[in-house]
Amino acid sequence: MTSAVATDPITEILKRAKTIAVVGLSDSPLRPSHGVAAYLQTQGYRIIPVNPQIQTSLGEKAYPSLLDVPEKIDIVDIFRRPEFVEEVVDQAIQLKIPTVWMQEEIVHENAAQKARQAGIFVVMDRCILLEHRARFR
């Protein structure tokens, strides 16, 4: 008799993803968003900064919103206060982005429910850097 091996959905998402849009990415190395995105770059992910206040970050052109990004996005990593999360999730739904990731201390149940109803996998209140390190180091 064979036993089914449970797969960890976060591991599978991180294995398959190639492009991560980081909403709220700062161009300041002192900000957590910058450190997390820089780590993800070193792990081979393509980072797309989404922040209307900057032109570039980590050597990549920044876009004012997800709707302005001209390429396919696998994960939206959100570094915005909860009151701005629903707008980002609405854009992710419109673009059919498969995963929405809300960083530590970002919880928005209504936005998460909307995303799930649209078939989007949601991670909430977890750091993508820590989750990646725990699985791939």
Q: What is the pLDDT of residues 23-69, one digit of tens each?
A: 999 999 999 999 999 999 999 999 999 999 999 999 999 999 999 99
pTM for the full model? 0.93
The DSSP code sequence of 35-89 is: HHHHHHHHTTPEEEEE-TT-SEETTEE-BSSGGG--S--SEEEE-S-HHHHHHHH
pLDDT, position 3:
47
Asked if residue 39 is part of any domain, the answer here is yes
Residue 16's contacts (CB-CB under 8 Å, 6 or more residues apart) are 74
CATH number, residue 20: 3.40.50.720
Asked if residue 2 is part of any domain, the answer here is no
Tens of pLDDT, residues 105-136:
999 999 999 999 999 999 999 999 999 999 99
Asked if residue 1 is part of any domain, the answer here is no
Asked if residue 4 is part of any domain, the answer here is no
Tens of pLDDT, residues 2-20:
545 568 999 999 999 999 9
Total count of domains within the chain: 1
